Structure 1
Amino acid sequence: MHAILSGHLQQKSYAARIQQSQLLQMDLVGLHETVQGWLAQNVMLEAEQTVELDADDADDTLDMDAVTRASEGMAELPWDATLARLSRGDDFADASAEARLAAPVSDDPQVQVLEALAIEPMSDACRAAAEIVLAAMDASGFLSVPLNHLGSQNGIDVVLLEQALGVIQNLGPAGYGARTLDEALELQLHRLPASDAQALALRIVQHGVTRLSRRDLDSL
C-alpha cells in the first residue's frame, strides 16, 4: 500500500513539474488565458467588477476573492500593447534611443541579448560576466546553473554575476533569464504598467504559484 501511495505521489509531482515548465515558456497572453481557464473551472469563484487592495492586505494569506479579482484585473491590462513594446525593444534598460534603434532585429532571443549587450552602457567586467551567464542559459532562456557555480568556475564574484543577470533579464523578452518558475512570472508581470491589478497578481505569483500550477485554488 505504501509503495502504491509513493508511486502516486511521484506521478503527481512529475506532472506538476511538467506543468510548471509549460507555464515558464508561455508568453503573457498565454499565461493570462491559462490562469483564467483554471479560475473558470472552479465553481466556488464568483466574478466581481473591480480590483481593490485593502491597507491590511500585506500578510501572506490569499483568499479566493483575491484570486478572482486578480484574474479580472489582469484581463483589463494592456497585454497587446505590452507585447508590442517588447517586440520593438522599448524595454531595453538604460539604453539610449539611438542605441535601441541601431540594435539589429533577430528571431533568436539569445542573439538579441548578445547584440544588445554590445551597445549597453556597462563596465567591461559586467559585460564579460553577462556573456558567461548568457552562455550558460538553455535555448528557452532558462538559467539552471547556480550563479555561485558559474562564479567558482570562471573566477568571477557572484555579486557581479547577479548584476549581469539583471541586465540580461531587462534586455531579453519578458521572463528571459529566469531561474525558477516564480521568477519567470514575476519578470513578466514587472514589464506591465503599475496598477492594483498588477500588484495583486504579483502577490499571487510570489505566494501561490506552485499551487496555481497544480490548479489547487482551494488552498490559496
Structure 2
Amino acid sequence: MSLDDFRRQSLLFGPSPVHPLPRLSEALGGQVEIWAKREDCNSGIAFGGNKVRKLEYLVAEAIDTGCDTLVSIGGIQSNHTRQVTGVARHLGLGAVTVQEGWVDWPDMNYDKVGNIQLTRILGGDIRVDPAGFDIGIRDSWKQALASVEEAGGKPYPIPAGASDHPLGGLGFANWAREVAVQEADLGVFFDTVIVCTVT
C-alpha cells in the first residue's frame, strides 16, 4: 500500500516553500546551512499551519463516510481547533470544538482573543471546558460527539492535534515526499530535520 492509495482532500496551495536562512546559518558559526520549510504559508484556510496537512486525509474520510460535522478538542488557544473549524467551514461542514484550559494563564481575555476568537469568527461551535492538559479521550469530547448525534447530525471525531487518528501521520508522510522533490529541484540534501512538536 502506498500513500497514493489514500484519498486526500486538497487544502494546500501546493508544496510549502523552502527558504535558506543564511544569516541564521552565519550566526550559528557558518558550519551548517540552515533552511526553513514554511508551513505557515501552506494554505489560505484559517491561516494555514501544519495541521492542515493532516486534515487533508481526515476530511476526505469524513466526506466519504457521510459525516456532516467535524468534532475535535484542544487548548483554549489551539491552532488545531482553529484549523479544524476553518477546514470544516470551507467544505460546508459543521465544526464543534472543545477548548480546554491546557495552560495556566490568568489573563481575563485569554479565552476571548487569538485562536479561539478566530474559531468563533469562522463559525465554530465552541465548548469551553476548564479541564487541564491531556490529549487522551475526554468526557467533554464524547459529550460533544453525542450532542451532534442527538441533534440529528453525523459527527467525525478528530482527536487533539489529529495525531492519534489512524490517518493522522499521512499528512507528514506526504510532507516528507514533498521535501524529497524539493531537495532534487534545489540540488540540496537536508541531512538533519528538526521539528517542534506537541501533538
TM-score (norm 2): 0.27
Instruction: Kindly indicate whether structure 1 or structure 2 has the higher relative contact order, using CA contacts under 8 Å at least 6 residues apart.
Output: 1
Bigger helix fraction: 1
Q: Hey, which of these two has a bigger chunk of strand by percent?
A: 2
TM-score normalised over the length of structure 1? 0.25
